[in-house]
Structure 1
C-alpha cells in the first residue's frame, strides 16, 4: 500500500487531498502539537516509545566519530542519545520539515547541554539538502507516514548514506493479533483524540495521527519499498505485537 496518488491527490489521514496540500496540512498538525509533543508521547504510549527508541539506538551500531542524520527528529530524543555516542569527533544532524518542532528540539537539547556536535536543519525528507554519501546512519522515527512521497524520501535517504551505511525506519505498523488490533483501534479512535483535546487542546490533530497510522504501508510493503529504493539486507522486527516495526536496510 503506497501513497496511491491518483488524479494528483494523496491521502491525509482517511481523506484525499491535492498532493501539493498535504505537506501544509501535516505542518499545521505539528505546529499545533509541538509544545505538548513530548508529554503526549509519554501519555499516548504509556512511556513505551522510550523502549522502542532505545531498541533503535542499540541496533544502530553507532560508534564514536560517526555522522548521523535523525530525520523528522522532532524534539530530539534520538539525537540526544546519538550525540553522546558519536562523541566530539562525530556529528548528529537533527532534521525536521516543521520549524516549530525543530525549535522545540533545539531549545531542549541546548538547555540540557547537548550542543557541541549537533546541527539543526529544516529539511524535506523527499529532497534532503546533503551531499551524496554523507552519513553512516540515518534514522526516521514516527515520521515516514507523514511524508507525501515515501518512495522519493527513501531514495533521498539512500543517496545521502555512505556505502555500507544503515537506514533505520521506526514507525507504527500493523498487528496480526485480532484482539490487540480491536483494542488498539478503540484506543486510537476514541481515547486518543479526547486525550489530545484535553492535554494539547487539539482533538483533530490526534485523530489525523491515528488515521495516518492506518494508511501507512504494512511491514512487508515497506520492506519492498526499501528494496526498490536500492537498499539491501532489508528486514524488520515487530515491537509490541506489531504496533510498531523497526525496518533496517543497508546501502550497498
Structure 2
C-alpha cells in the first residue's frame, strides 16, 4: 500500500530521535559516511548539501566532518524539519523545506562541493532523475555519498533486517506514535530497494564516476552502506 511519505514522517517526527537513538551505531554510521566523503580542509570555503536531512542527524554528521563549510539541509517533511531547526546550529547551517525533486523552486541551486543523501533514495518517486539532478548540482569532481540500507544482495542481511523490523522497530514505533505506517514503510522499502551492485550500476548510469560502496561493521554489515560517486571532471 502506498503512503504519503512526507506525511508519515510528519506523524513520526516527535518520536523519531528517540527511536533512532536506540539503534546502536545509527549516529556513528552517519558520521562514518560523512567522513568517507573526504571533504578537504574541514570544508573551509565549501558548500555542501544535506539532501533529506530529517531531524538533523545527517546534518550533524556532515557538520562534524566539515565544520567550516556552508551546509544547506533540505527535507520534504515539515515535522521532521521543525525538529531539526529547533536544535542549536551555527550560522553556516540553513534548513529549507522542500521535496528534493523541486529544490530549485525553493531557491536552492548548485554548484555544491559535496552532497550527503541519507535514507533518501528509497523515498523519491524517480531515483534515476534524482541522481541525475544531484550530478548536475555538483561541481566537477565533487562527491555524492548515499547513506542507505541495502539488503537484497545478502540473504543473511535480509533475514536480520526482517527480524529487527518486526521484533523491534515496528513495535517500538507503534508504542511511541500509535501509528505504524512509517515503520512498515521502512521495512517494506528497504526490502524493495536495489541491492548494492544494482545501485552502483544505477549511479554509473546517472553519469557518476569512481562509483563504489563501503559497508559498516557489526550487525549492520551488508545492511547499511555508503555509496560513493563523483561528478565527472
Structure 2 CA distance for aligned equivalents of residues 179 and 226 of structure 1:
25
Residue 247 to residue 35, structure 1, CA distance change in 2 (3 Å): same
Check if 1:208 corresponds to 2:208. Answer: no
Q: Which of 55, 59, 84 does residue 79 from structure 1 map onto? A: 59
Check if 1:38 corresponds to 2:34. Answer: no
Paired residue for 1:194? 171
* Deviation of 1:56 (Å): 1.0
Paired residue for 1:147? 124
Q: Which of 116, 132, 146 does residue 169 from structure 1 map onto? A: 146
Structure 2, unpaired ranges of 5+? none
Paired residue for 1:117? 92
Structure 1 CA distance for aligned equivalents of residues 135 and 173 of structure 2:
35
Residue 137 to residue 107, structure 1, CA distance change in 2 (3 Å): same
Check if 1:29 corresponds to 2:2. Answer: no
Paired residue for 1:96? 75
Paired residue for 2:36? 59
How big is the alpha-carbon RMSD for the aligned residues of Structure 1 and Structure 2? Answer: 1.9
Structure 1, unpaired ranges of 5+? 1-14
Paired residue for 1:128? 103
Structure 1 CA distance for aligned equivalents of residues 109 and 188 of structure 2:
34
Residue 220 to residue 251, structure 1, CA distance change in 2 (3 Å): same
Structure 2 CA distance for aligned equivalents of residues 181 and 78 of structure 1:
24
Q: Which of 187, 204, 224 does residue 244 from structure 1 map onto? A: 224
* Deviation of 1:225 (Å): 1.0
Post-superposition CA distance 1:79-120 (Å, at most 9, x none): 2343355455x3100100111111111111xxx2x1310111
Structure 2 CA distance for aligned equivalents of residues 236 and 85 of structure 1:
19
* Deviation of 1:76 (Å): 1.2
Residue 247 to residue 81, structure 1, CA distance change in 2 (3 Å): closer
Post-superposition CA distance 1:31-68 (Å, at most 9, x none): 1101111111122x2x3111211211221222322111
